[in-house]
Amino acid sequence: MNDNNNKNKKLPPSGNNSFFIFLIISVVATVILNVAISSLTAPKTKEILYSDFVQMIKNDEIEEVVLAADKIQVIKKDSGSKTTTEKLLKLWGMKDNTRQELYYTGYINDQRLLPLLDEKGIKYSTPIQYSNPVLEFFLAWILPLLFIYGMFFLVSRSLSKKMGGGIMGVGQSKAKMYMESKTGVSFRDVAGQEEAKESLNEIVDFLHNPMKYTAIGAKQPKGALLVGPPGTGKTLLAKAVAGEANVPFFSLSGSEFVEMFVGVGASRVRDLFKQASQNAPCIIFIDEIDAIGKSRDNQLGSNDEREQTLNQLLAEMDGFDSSKGVVILAATNRPDVLDKALLRPGRFDRRIIVEKPDLKGREAILHVHVKNVKMAPEVDLHEIALATSGAVGADLANMVNEAALRAVRMGRSVVIQEDLMEAVEVIIAGKEKKDRILSDNEKKLVAYHEVGHALATAVSKNTDPVQKITIVPRTMGALGYTMQMPEEEKYLMNKDEIIDELTVLLAGRAAEEVAFGVKTTGASNDIERATELARNMITIYGMSDKFGMIGLESIQNRYLDGRRVSNCSQETQAAVDDEVRDVLEKCHKTAVDILENNRTALDRISEFLIEKETITGKEFMEIFNKVKSENLLDEQTADDVQETDNNLCDF
């Protein structure tokens, strides 16, 4: 591949084409305008005999006579009233002769003519030419031409802002071309997506060394579809491919193809592939391709513009030769709505899943984002990665930036571990609300609620340890929260782990009931999460004692909102609701039993939390273990006393 040739390639000069098109339209419009004005103002002339001319003078039918060198022009009297055409021409400073009947006859040296004209009071004159040919040509041709061209230019410029491309460019592609020096992104800047990078690296190698693959008979994939949740780095991966391959990178969104005019999107697709062929080898990247690639089987309605655009895209992907080095990359969060014809082999040959990163991937992503941030030596990114389970690359980048901003606010020159942990909490729960002051009773309720979660976590066998407990209100609505830190990454959950998780979620409400005998609105989010998890256990995971291994619900839009779709009858749905309620009631009872058996620890840790407002998991476990030791000692003492009493009785 010749890199210099690639860098010297330019897009077609669409601006020059527009200039010539405007010029041609302006010339044609000027000619039509002059012809129209000439036909509008030209008088009707008719040749008559000289004898008839003399008779018209005698009958007093002539208004004016013009004596030229070769002929006599005769203007007959009009009927009097002005027409609309004459009024308009008068406004333009022009004379209307359309209603006057003009005649002409040959010139005869008649000595009786002038006395006869004087006798009848008819005006006569000889024409004198004062015209300037250059000025007339400028006024008749150049000035209208400039005016019409300027009018078209202004209208096109105005429309181009509204629909992109103007009148002449409405069908042209708006793809932005980035060279490798402008993207500044390579695979070194992408972490946590090793499988996706491996699949894309083969495409890069094909662009660099096509003969290595064609020699064995392999064909370059025409397209690759990047699928995954928002923020996982699909666009970043596409730019990294262009940066690694050092080829032109055409980037645009699927919504940029669709306009209000039917056929515009299809025209832009044709123009895009034409530009790509002229700049091959290159990469075309279409972000959010579901905007134009939705299935055409929609029964609710259709969109002619979108369907024509999709049809043109399918035709272009079938028509271009992959050996030229044109690779199409596309990204979407909704692969389930794409048209089947778009996904078949020969169009998008590969589907590359860009999932949420695992523990190792999150740690690698954090290392990428902290490269340009001054970090303290004791910062442990592994701990941050553990605390951010489920976070994507965009979330982690935001957390690092929030940590840097907090370090500046606190007057530090480097970011410490505390800044990063606080940034994690800001992203999850929001900032601390210092202006929200809870009453003593509310603070006590929140403290018991959060300690209830923590105690259920400490007692249960299949839960993650507590990292932090706080009763400081947050901007996202939480009056307090209990933060857990997993010891390792988990990819599966068994039924016992789900039951323990449900027990922990319902332990907050259980603590309110055990300590105060009341139920508050603070458990709403816990109940919502517990209900969803219990329903998944029954309808999706096949862990139901009543229904067994049957999928009663499925998930649509898995990478977005994860909307549920029922696959069963209404009677079965009602039975599912009953079983969900039974599972939650059992878990709630278990939570109540745990807290009643650990009432001393519940009271003592809650009092400590009310005083400190925020405690660490280490402090929580120290108090909990101390209370357990005291209870164990009390039980041993009671057993010793009982044994002594028994001995005395025996004695």
User: 204 and 338, same structural domain?
Assistant: yes
Mark out the alpha helices in 138-287 (DSSP H runs). Answer: 143-163, 166-169, 180-183, 194-208, 210-214, 234-245, 264-278
Q: What is the DSSP letter of 140?
A: I
Look up the domain containing 398 and give its range.
359-428
pLDDT at 241: 86
How is residue 160 written in tokens? 């181009």
pLDDT at 130: 55
Mark out the alpha helices in 494-598 (DSSP H runs). Answer: 495-516, 524-539, 570-597
In a domain, 282, yes or no: yes
Binned average pLDDT, 10 residues per bin, the chain of 651 residues = 41 52 77 73 72 83 81 71 43 46 77 82 73 70 78 70 47 51 72 85 82 80 87 88 83 74 74 83 86 72 72 81 77 87 84 88 91 91 87 90 92 92 82 72 92 93 88 79 82 91 95 93 92 93 89 81 82 92 96 94 93 90 89 64 49 38
Residue 505: which of 464, 447, 454, 453 has the closest Cα?
453
Mapped onto helix, strand or coil, the DSSP state of residue 436 is coil
Tokens 């553990």 -> residue: 386
pLDDT at 505: 95
The amino acid at 130: Y
How is residue 600 written in tokens? 């001393």
User: 228 and 337, same structural domain?
Assistant: yes
User: 484 and 396, same structural domain?
Assistant: no
In a domain, 134, yes or no: no
Which of 330, 353, 376 is at the close of a domain? 353
pLDDT at 262: 58
Which of 353, 369, 402 is at the close of a domain? 353
In a domain, 151, yes or no: no
Mark out the alpha helices in 320-463 (DSSP H runs). Answer: 340-343, 359-369, 381-387, 393-409, 417-429, 440-459
What's the total number of domains in the chain? 4
Report the CATH number at residue 605: 1.20.58.760
Report the CATH number at residue 99: 3.30.720.210
User: 306 and 447, same structural domain?
Assistant: no
User: 572 and 465, same structural domain?
Assistant: yes
Name the burial class of residue 215, with classes exposed (0-12), middle (13-18) and buried (19+) by CB atoms within 10 angstroms of its CB: exposed
User: 196 and 113, same structural domain?
Assistant: no
Examine the residue annotation and report whether 488 is marked as an active-site residue of this protein: no
In a domain, 10, yes or no: no
Rounded CA-CA distance 452/601 in Å is: 10
pLDDT at 202: 83
In a domain, 23, yes or no: no
User: 304 and 197, same structural domain?
Assistant: yes
In a domain, 158, yes or no: no
Mapped onto helix, strand or coil, the DSSP state of residue 164 is coil
pLDDT at 101: 62
User: 188 and 300, same structural domain?
Assistant: yes
| Distances, alpha carbon 182 to alpha carbons 232, 237, 300, 630, in Å | 22, 15, 44, 67
pLDDT at 620: 92
User: 339 and 475, same structural domain?
Assistant: no
Q: Which of 450, 501, 512, 579 is catalytic?
A: 450
Report the CATH number at residue 348: 3.40.50.300
Report the CATH number at residue 408: 1.10.8.60
User: 214 and 100, same structural domain?
Assistant: no
User: 261 and 334, same structural domain?
Assistant: yes
Rounded CA-CA distance 74/217 in Å is: 90
In a domain, 325, yes or no: yes
In contact, 382 and 363? CB cutoff 8 Å: yes
User: 414 and 480, same structural domain?
Assistant: no
Rounded CA-CA distance 414/377 in Å is: 9
Mapped onto helix, strand or coil, the DSSP state of residue 560 is coil
Which of 428, 459, 475 is at the close of a domain? 428
pLDDT at 210: 78
Rounded CA-CA distance 254/262 in Å is: 16
In a domain, 140, yes or no: no
